[in-house]
């Protein structure tokens, strides 16, 4: 979602390389995001090879914005790092 948030769209192979996920893991994530209405998947053929293009829907963008806000509030509430481990 983070990768798709900052770019208009991306193909499956690009996302696989960026995330380091296996084909199966990324496919499972994309399927769940698509079922939730967060991601739109467009499958086509380019030079007789399958090509899958993904982009966030408006619902997905709004959900990611909410998530970012929640994470920001959570991290702002943490005490400063004292440097000890």
Q: Where residue 84 falls among pLDDT bands split at 50, 70, 90? A: low
Pairing state of beta strands 49-56 and 39-46? antiparallel
**Which CATH number is 47's domain given?**
1.10.10.10
Q: Is 56 exposed, middle or buried (0-12, 13-18, 19+ CB in 10 A)?
A: buried
List of residues 6+ apart from 61 with CB closer than 8 A: 5
Q: Where residue 77 falls among pLDDT bands split at 50, 70, 90? A: confident
Question: pLDDT tens-digit profile of 10-49?
Answer: 999 999 999 999 999 999 999 999 999 999 999 999 898 8
CA distance 12 to 49: 13
Structural domains of the chain, count: 1
Question: Residue range 42-65: average pLDDT?
Answer: 93
Q: Is residue 84 part of a domain?
A: no
Q: Is residue 82 part of a domain?
A: no
Of the chain, the percentage scoring pLDDT greater than 90 comes to 73
């Amino acid at each position: 979602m983070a990768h798709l948030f900052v770019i208009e769209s991306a193909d499956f192979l690009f996302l696989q390389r960026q995330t380091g996920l296996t084909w199966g893991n990324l496919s499972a994530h994309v399927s769940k995001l698509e079922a939730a209405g967060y991601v739109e998947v467009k499958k086509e053929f380019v030079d007789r090879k399958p090509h899958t293009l993904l982009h966030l829907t408006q619902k997905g963008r709004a959900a990611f914005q909410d998530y970012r806000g929640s994470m920001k509030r959570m991290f702002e509430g943490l005490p400063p790092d004292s440097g000890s481990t």
